Amino acid sequence: MKKICILGSTGSIGRQSIEVCKALRFPVVGLAAHSNTELLAQQIHALRPKAACIFDQSQYAELKEKTDGTGVQLFTGMEGLCQLASMTECDMVLNAVVGMVGLQPTLAAIDAGKAVALANKETLVTGGKLVISAAKEKGVPILPVDSEHSAIFQSMQGNAQNRVKKIILTASGGPFYGKTRKDLETVTVKQALCHPNWSMGAKITIDSATLMNKGLELIEACWLFDQKPEDVEIVIHRESVVHSLVEYEDHAVMAQLGVPDMKLPIQYALTYPKRLCCDTQRLSLTKYGQLTFAEPDEETFICLSACKEAMRRSGVYPAIVNGANEEAVALFLNGKIRFTDIGRLVMDSLAIQYDKEDFAISDILEADRLARNFVRASV
């Protein structure tokens, strides 16, 4: 039994993680959200964690009032999020917040020696180098929750001695697979929020529609599995059944398959190396009949090329394209820019000059700020 702290507990992954913890009977000792006081308070009453954090300070008083009598210790802001991530009572931090705001609490958890189950891909995209070296130094595991990375991790079990030749990262292709650049010019927010296979938070759903999500995942895979961007192949697989694959020296290719359901990767991160019964549907290959694979269209979905280029340059460039994307997606969701502007802004953000071989967290935060300012100034 592990004591779990869930950051982003009110979100899509956070809510499913609570279900998984309940089924496993793992105590949830910490919860955090941005501003959804209503749901966070409900979760506190139901789960009785030791502590909780509401990031938005203006919501603190209301949360305090709503949780009166529960004995929960409340925190707020980034400092509170980091305190929660390093609390003594917890064994593992499941980071499911959205955006690069997840980086600092991940580092705080590692510093406190906590195992990390990582859904927040922006943590590794922006701070991969710092996070991986801190985890190595502290000897703490980082267990992937992202379904593709969980599949890669699962396909690597028993192969620690063997060199990976290539990682094959599958992508559903999102709602606009097969569309041309011209088609994409008139895409509405509602259309972009309609993912064919997965029900997720708004930001990652837009990222899946632009294929930025796959670009972020390529960077995430490079850090998690120590690979170069040219050794990660992206393959469009519309059915989302083969969650990703690993090719070895002898050209054997190992994969993990299953119905699209985040509960399995969440649970595997919590119970690794054990496999326990999981409340997901079983895969019937004959029901699917056939599985399809195709090359991505990187000329239409330019976010993918931008992420590859950012990772090739390395340094703070992944943080720059990520920051530009976070800002552009928020503007798109608020009706301020067109769908196709997202890719253009992410690509153009690579023109920002910020070359640093050795960089610290302050450089990542600065790169993020520059990228966001660049996007705001460009629209």
**If DSSP codes are grouped into helix, strand and coil, which group holds residue 28?**
strand
For residue 14 the two structure tokens come to 């956070």
Q: Quick check: 338 and 332 in contact, CB under 8 A?
A: yes
101 contributes a contact to ligand NDP by CB under 6 A = yes
Q: Angle formed by the axes of helices 212-225 and 147-155, to 10°? A: 30
Nearer to ligand NDP, 87 or 98 (CB): 98
Distance separating alpha carbons of residues 315 and 357, to the nearest angstrom: 6
Identity at 55, one-letter amino acid code: F
CB of 266 to Mg ion, least distance (A): 12
User: Tokens in use for 102?
Assistant: 């997840």
Using CB under 6 A, pick the residue from 4, 5, 13, 192 that binds ligand NDP. Answer: 13
Quick one: which H or E segment has residue 202?
helix 202-210
Contact partner, 262, from Mg ion, ligand NDP, none, Cβ < 5-8 Å per class: ligand NDP
Between residue 139 and residue 168, which ones bind ligand NDP under the rule CB under 6 A? 146
Q: What is the total residue count of the chain? A: 379
33 by DSSP, 3-state: which? Answer: strand
Q: CB 350: neighbour CB atoms within 10 A? A: 16
**Interface with Mg ion, residue 207, by CB under 5 A:** no
| Binder among 62, 201, 298, 356 for ligand NDP (CB under 6 A) | 201
From 96-104, 106-114, 332-340, 346-354, give the range in contact with ligand NDP by CB under 6 A. 96-104
Q: Counting contacts by CB under 6 A, is residue 174 touching ligand NDP?
A: no
- The answer to whether 40 and 53 are in contact (CB under 8 A) is no
Given ligand NDP, Mg ion, none, residue 32, with its beta carbon under 5 to 8 Å by kind, binds ligand NDP
**DSSP string spanning 88-116?**
TT-SEEEE---SGGGHHHHHHHHHTT-EE
- Interface with Mg ion, residue 146, by CB under 5 A: yes
Question: Which x/- pattern over 25-64 shows residues binding ligand NDP (rule: CB under 6 A)?
Answer: -------xxxxx------------------x---------
Size of the residue set binding ligand NDP (CB under 6 A): 31
Question: Which residue number, 165 or 196, has a Cβ lying nearer to ligand NDP?
Answer: 196
34 binds, among ligand NDP, Mg ion, none (CB under 5 to 8 A by kind): ligand NDP
Q: 255-274: which residues touch ligand NDP (CB under 6 A)?
A: 262
Looking at 22-30, 60-68, 200-208, 366-374, which segment touches ligand NDP (CB under 6 A)?
A: 200-208
Which helix (H) or strand (E) element contains residue 6? strand 4-7
Transcribe 128-180 into DSSP letters.
HHHHHHHHHHHT--EEE-SHHHHHHHHHTTT-TTSPEEEEEEEE---TTTT--
Among ligand NDP, Mg ion, none, what binds residue 244 when CB lies within 5 to 8 Å by partner kind?
none
Site residues for ligand NDP per CB under 6 A: 8-14, 32-36, 55, 81, 96-99, 101, 119-122, 146, 198, 200-204, 262
